[in-house]
Amino acid sequence: VRVGTTLITFYPTVRNVKKADSEEPQIVEGTLFVKAGTNIGESFQGGLGDTVIGSDPGESGVELDDRAVSKRHATIRVMSRACRLYHLGSTNGTDVDGRNVGGVALNDGDVIKLGKIEVRFVRESVMWSWLILRIQ
């Protein structure tokens, strides 16, 4: 997601996986890893519900330090089986994987750009696989 000059990536994390014989839904959570911009190296975890991203997102939001990022630039909505990103109408727009978006489903590895900040969205199960491959 691109907010101003900040690019944010969101990584969903699967906490409870639905079993074949279970009627309980899969719950998806996620983590944003800042890979470029003033917040580089930071990460933010999210759970079910909405998380606002911006320069002044409120208590439970993701705060990015970039002049091109609006106070409430975008929001990530985590639902039981999916994650979506919504642009909240800022002047500078929000990009996901190089495309300017208004609202889009987030997939593992998507890169979100907000201003000059880039963030990657990653699923925990994928992250563990990557770490195991790098250690061996």
pLDDT for 72 = 95
**How wide is the angle at C-alpha 73 spanned by C-alphas 100 and 77, nearest 5°?**
85
Q: In terms of DSSP H, where are the helices of 1-136?
A: 124-135
Tokens of 21: 């014989």
Measure the CA–CA gap between 98 and 72, rounded to whole angstroms: 21
- Which fold would CATH assign to domain 2-135? Tumour Suppressor Smad4 (2.60.200)
Q: Is residue 119 packed enough to be buried (19+ CB in 10 Å), middle (13-18) or exposed (0-12)?
A: buried
Full pLDDT tens readout for the chain, 136 residues: 566 666 565 544 444 444 444 444 444 567 788 888 888 888 887 777 888 999 999 887 899 999 999 999 999 988 877 889 999 998 889 999 999 999 999 988 899 999 989 988 876 544 443 443 443 3
pTM comes to: 0.69
Return the domain boundaries, the chain. 2-135
* Residue (of 130, 113, 112, 129) closest to 121 by Cα position: 112
